[in-house]
Amino acid sequence: MIPLLVFLSLAGTALGLPNCDAEPLQLPLQDVQVLSDKKDSFMRGIPAQIGRPVQNIVLLPWAELNNTWIYDSEAYCDKTIIWNDNICRVRRGNLLKEEESTTYIKANNIGAAGGAPTETYWDGSELGLKSLASSGLGGTDNFQVNGTQVLTGFPFGIPRLSWDHGYTMLHPLGLGSNSTYLNALRDAGQLSSRIWSLFWGRMWVDEPVDGSLVLGGYDENKVIGQNYTAPLNFGDFKGSSGCWTGMKVTISDIKLNFRDGRDKSLFPPNTALSCCLVPQRQLLLEAPFSYLETFENITQTSPFDSPSYGLHWSAQLFDAKTAFDGDITFSLSSGLEIRVPNSQYMPPFVDIERNGSRIFKNETRELLINGVDNQPATLGRYFFTSAYLMVDHDAGTFTLWKANPSKTSKLVKVTDLKTSTQCTNNPAATEQPTEEAAAQPRASGAVIGGSVAGGVVGLALIVLAVFFFLRHKQRSNNVEDASRAESLGHSPGGYKSPVYAQAAKDNWQRGSYHVPQELPGSNPVPFEFEGSTQSVYEMGDGQRK
């Protein structure tokens, strides 16, 4: 019986059934040495390897991209601020040499390589994103992120236009609603859900704290207090309630926290600011120029030079001797307050020198706030030095907490409803979760399947049929459910179609999917639907979450 169960576990993974034993994966966000012969050629990101023999690269989590994009010798660095190849190579996180990999297979485009044929484009996203998939090359190769399982034949794109203006720089790891990376890990049995969580860490201080990207759950030691959960809503920033990343929040106030205990608001009375969460952006805040002007008036300071050309592109430059030394607090309409320390939004000027070294100018401070005109307001990566983000593509939601900058970790697995049901109904294939773990699961009406070669499927189906008949006749109902979900969300290539995102949104609005037990810090209230009483999360404005 034991060998049979081992085979069933492998066969279930091949069939796209969830791996009930899959634990969350934690990928570090840290300083990574890019050039092997230059010790201080650091960029902050996620270390990864590609090809055979392996080539080291550095990745940046990208919220809305479906595909992962790897730069090669045509790196499209902005020559007006990046003066030589060393700087370009470091800022991009090393460059792929396709010809040196024996496992690389070229494709005409990302769709032909097996990735998502389009990238989600809405008003506010990078202008070049609209043409990225159609103009770029594609390929497949071995792909491994920080020691996790090697994904063989992983599809990725190779840009063939300057699509991102160069200031986000590193190779983007696509974590969007149709993420080829998350789907590949799920199909390989590495994950039980398409969930990712992010904490950027703390930098530019005496005792820095590495950040992390957690897949399939979140880090309980990095969150504090009540959470705020809302639906992912993809759309144009203007004229809709959505964002290109799917994550829009309303800021009700921004206060400057002076060292003597005084607080001064940047907001005029009775105003609010709609803002998109964009974790890959290089600053803390992009907002209308009036907020930047108010900051200067309140602090009685002003920039001494044109905006930064360094790694914090477009930041405002201040003299370190007179720069504001207080913190800044963001109040969201949900009631959540996020206080960002001065060290995380007014760091020293930081750049990459001609020889590839990362350098600092301690006499200069960069205010990581930029004024924008007729552009969406954004909260970028430095917001997540003090806030913790979880994105649940299966449930179609995102969650925010206050971040706890702890160096310790306690990973919590978060599982969608389908996986929870299948694993609970199949005790022979997985251990029952502990009471603590059982309190964590999230619900979703989504199911992710996969496709495999006919011979493996046939053999697996025979064994599974016998096993199901003997052990659980009820599993046949689950298979029917999976087929119905597949008709909504799957396309033959194994990636999620845009129909899935709309279906998840519709289910959210109807309240027709089951909601599990609460996340830590939530305050559940009963809500009755479909003949049963489940827990839902109540937001401050009375909406369900």
Evaluated on CA atoms 181, 216, 405, 260, the torsion sign reads positive
At 224 the three-state DSSP class reads strand
Of all helices (H) and strands (E), which one includes residue 201? strand 195-202
Determine the Cα–Cα distance for residues 331 and 334; give it in Å rounded to an integer. Answer: 8
Supply φ then ψ for residue 336, to 5 degrees.
-75, 135
Which residues make beta-bridge pairs with 196? 215, 391
Structure tokens at 483: 């087929």
CATH of 22-191, one of 2.40.70.10, 3.40.50.2000, 3.30.413.10, 3.30.70.270: 2.40.70.10
Write down the pTM of the prediction.
0.78
> H helices of 216-347, where?
289-299, 342-345
The CATH number that domain 200-403 falls under is 2.40.70.10
- Residue 44 phi, psi (nearest 5): -90, 120
The pLDDT score that the predictor gives to residue 18 is 62
The amino acid at residue 443 is A
- The rounded distance, in Å, linking the Cα atoms of 32 and 145 is 13
Cis status, amide bond into 53, omega within 30 of 0: yes
Q: State the maximum Cα–Cα separation within the chain, in Å, rounded to a whole number.
A: 77
Instruction: Report which of 155, 161, 109, 106 is spatially closest to residue 131, judged by C-alpha positions.
Output: 161
Q: Which two tokens stand for residue 89?
A: 């190579």
Q: How far apart are the first and last CA of the chain?
A: 43
* Contact by Cβ (8 Å): 144, 151: yes
| φ, ψ for residue 59, nearest 5 deg | -110, 155
Asked if the domains 22-191 and 200-403 are classified in one and the same CATH topology, the answer is yes
φ and ψ of 455, to 5 deg:
-65, -45
What stretches of 404-545 adopt beta strand conformation (E)? 411-413, 524-529, 532-537
Q: How many residues does the chain have?
A: 545
Query: What residues are paired with 527 via a beta bridge?
Result: 534
**Cβ-contact 369, 295 below 8 angstroms:** yes
Q: Which two tokens stand for residue 426?
A: 């199949």
Per the rule left: phi > 0, alpha: psi between -120 and 50, beta: everything else, 347 is beta
DSSP labels, 11-64: HHHHTT---TTPPPEEEEEEEEE-STT-TT-EEEEEEEEETTTTEEEEEEEESS
- Tens-level pLDDT at each residue, the chain (545 residues): 434 433 434 444 444 566 778 999 999 999 999 999 999 999 999 999 999 999 999 999 999 999 999 999 999 998 888 889 999 999 999 999 999 999 999 999 999 999 999 998 888 888 899 999 999 999 999 999 998 889 999 999 999 999 987 677 899 999 999 999 999 999 999 998 999 999 999 999 999 999 999 999 999 999 999 999 999 999 888 767 889 999 999 999 999 999 999 999 999 988 999 999 999 999 999 999 999 999 999 999 999 988 999 999 999 999 999 999 999 999 999 999 999 999 999 999 999 999 999 999 999 999 999 999 888 999 999 999 999 999 999 999 999 999 999 999 999 999 866 667 777 654 433 332 333 333 334 333 322 223 223 333 344 444 444 444 444 433 343 333 333 333 323 222 322 323 333 333 333 333 322 233 334 444 332 222 223 222 222 333 333 23
Query: How far is it, in rounded angstroms, from Cα 135 to Cα 90?
Result: 24
Question: Measured between alpha carbons, how far is 28 from 445 in angstroms, rounded to an integer?
Answer: 30
Distance CA 310, CA 175 (A): 26
**3-class DSSP state of 115:** coil
Chain-centroid distance of CA 447 in Å reads 20
> What six digits make up the tokens of 219?
């880090």
36 contact partners, CB below 8 Å, separation of at least 6: none
3-state secondary structure of 273: strand
Query: How many Å apart are CA 255 and CA 293, to the nearest integer?
Result: 14
Domain boundaries, the chain: 22-191, 200-403, 415-514
Q: How far apart are CA 97 and CA 344, in angstroms?
A: 35
